[in-house]
Chains A and B, each alone.
Chain A
Amino acid sequence: MARRSRHIFAAVLAASLLTTACAADESRGDSNKVNIGVSIELSGPAQVQGEAYQKALQLEAERINASGIKVGDKTYKLNLIIRDNKSDPTESLQVVKSMIDNDKVVGIVGGGSSPTTMSIVDTVESRGVPTVSMGSSGAIVAPLEERQFVFKTPANTNLIVDKMIEEFEASGISKVALLSVDNAYGQAGVGAFDAAVKSGKIDLVAQEKFTDKDKDFTVQVTKLIAVQPDAIVVWAIPPGSTIAAKNIKASGFTGKVFFDAGAGAELFIKGAGAESEGMYMVHPAVLAGAQITGDSPAELIQREFFEQYSVKYGNFSGFASYGADALRLLVAAIEKAGSLDRTKVRDAMEQLRYDGVTGRYEFSDKDHGGVTRDSLALLVVRDGVWVPAR
């Protein structure tokens, strides 16, 4: 009796597994849909970025599905599969492999940070899945022979530093101090500054770090201003960038303060309040959305995205545009390739000349890295909003 019931149990289990498998296959094999996988940081230390990416991607998916994706003479619906990678490289790898094997994605958006991208690079490369990352590290797209399928949307870190150096030269700043967050994001900034120092472009007089869990950097700031720099550069994301702004202001530092593109839009101003007045940031111009008045097609795209995002979510994040562009680039490459074949999509991506929300992208077989330098602008906080500095 016991044995028989066990057999029945086993049979039922097997049958149910089989049905699950079939059922799952049916929904996945939907011929009118293009699956694109997203691996982003919805929890963990990088969750602030992840949330902005998610909002932007959902906004973009709605826009794209209003007209559909045209591949040859067929129109497909976009099916966005968003998965949390918990800001963890291993989790990102698992998520991505599952999306490749089970969801048969045409392309991948993510990871949203450098470590969650670095862990998937080998996999997407060997499986041949075009991937657009929102991570900033240069190692994501170099060496190019091992990164054939990997692209990224944020500007290469050295472009942001170059833009800052332009401003240093214009306003006679020679001694610069650097305060950075002690993670992969901050390290990319430090690396770019070290390179600039080596090439003799700037004089870095002091350099300090804080962790993404610290809430007070007074000690670090005290050390920095002790060497009397002309300007302090902060390389961090909120709330670190916000706290840095407050601590620097509290220290009585009178020189200029520069932030990189991660400093974080309204979240930054909201957190630092009046203390943020007059601080600078190098960021794609989209952040000054309300002040973009030109009517070239590129500027129209930026203004439209800024308005839609602000209206729908009540604020704007500097990270949003990177996520939006990653998806836009993939869709543009699919349409250009006229095929859902992953290799053809990759080939098309490499030839793209595209005006995205963040700025202009010009990928080539020599460069898979991010938005071009012309898209970057120097912004400043005036009366509590970001405006172009000149």
Chain B
Amino acid sequence: MRRLLGYAVFATILFTIPAIFTRVPPYTMSDGVQMAILAIAALGLVPLTGYANQISLGQAAFYGTGAYASAILTVHSGWNLWLALLVGAALAGGGAYLLGLFIFRVTGHYLALATIALGLVLAIVARQLAITGGSEGLPGIPYLSVFGFELTGDVNYYYFVAAVLLVATLVVGLVVRSSLGRSLIAVGDSAFAAAASGIDIARYKRVAFVLAAVLAAVAGSLYAHWVTYVDVHTLDLLLSIQLLIIVAVGGLRSVWGAAVGSFIIVSLVRFSKEWLPVLSQKAGGQVEIVAYGAALILVLLFLPHGVVGGFNDLAARLRPARGPVAPGSPSPAGSTAAPTADTPALSKEPS
């Protein structure tokens, strides 16, 4: 029941965002769309990095795969847009599965390094090929249509991607609460113990990796139909880093982590871009970068489980008698105190 309430609050916040973003500068509805797309792309890192403790720095490789699949198949081949999206997701999932077959045989940092390299290789190849438009990229991607209604404006498109985000969050929520999720926690916390109790570690890591890849690819396709232009930046390492930062800041052990992190990071970029030049004429993008990095470090140092984890800790401390959660607080971040998915994480990872 409490779990459903959590999703209801999340849905309410998601669908009231347009009312706020269209009125409160410096936000624009475009920021809302970007937040939702980034949240979908980062969501898969919750089971993968938060639970199975595998760092991926190659989410952009799958995001870009989805974006390019949608772009190439709809622009060059005139495919149905939804079919193109599915093909992109299948390609990304298949690629992740293949890489996962080998990479999870050993433990360590190998996933982080292999995914960086994979993203770099794809970006270089995308620059060389004619079908991807090379470095100049592919313009002219059509807008998505739902039931004959073309999703052109940012507000319309936002409602659509927010709905996708909600569904994706539900799916990931189900996964982390299933026996699979519990196994992932076991794998992440102590691979030896997990192996001893008969868990096929590599298989579970692989499932989480494929899920992350598919979600990233879907997000990439949504991006392509939003901007209507795709270039190698969708495969960029910097995007992978940004997605990892989003879940790290939001909270790696909570299904709300991706959405909260995405809200915080996009807001930080927007506000620093708007207000830093007011403070000083010379403060261009450079100071913005410092602020971004410093915020990341500070959050991770003071809230090692991210903002959501911090709220859960706080809630647990304030109401020891009533358990760790208090649904329905007024601020967006407060609502994230609801999920029960965090409770095992809390007990496993005391700070």
Contact = CB atoms under 8 A, between A and B. Distances in A.
- Within the complex, are A and B direct neighbours (CB within 8 Å)? yes
Interface of A: 6, 9-10, 13, 17, 20-21, 24-25, 28, 42-43, 54, 82-84, 86, 88-91, 93-95, 97-98, 101-102, 114-115, 118-119, 121-122, 126, 137, 139, 182-188
Contact of A182 (B135, B233, B269): B135
Contacts of B227: 89-90, 93, 119, 122
Given A84-B285, A89-B231, A97 B28 contact: yes
Interface SS of chain B: helix
Q: How large is the interface on B (under 10, 10 to 19, 20 to 34, 35 or more residues)?
A: 35 or more
Contacts of A186: 135
Nearest to B331: A13
A94 B231 contact: no
A185 B23 CA distance: 38
B136 A182 contact: no
Output the residue of A6, A84, A89, A95 with the most chain B CB within 10 A.
Answer: A84
B289 interface: yes
Output the residue of B28, B136, B231, B284 with the most chain A CB within 10 A.
Answer: B136
12 contacts: A6-B329, A9-B330, A21-B24, A54-B284, A82-B284, A84-B285, A93-B227, A94-B31, A98-B26, A137-B136, A139-B139, A182-B127
Contact of A119 (B29, B152, B229): B229
A135 to B, nearest CB: 10
Contacts of B128: 182
A139 B30 contact: no
Interface SS of chain A: helix
A115 B286 contact: no
A184 B231 contact: yes
B277 interface: yes
Nearest to A87: B233
B137 A115 contact: yes
B222 to A, nearest CB: 13
A89 B139 contact: no
Output the residue of A21, A98, A114, A182 with the most chain B CB within 10 A.
Answer: A98
A88 B233 contact: yes
Contacts of A82: 277, 284
Contacts of B288: 43, 84
A126 B285 contact: no
Contacts of B182: none
Interface in B182-227: 223, 227
B24 A101 contact: no
Interface in B17-48: 23-26, 28-31, 34
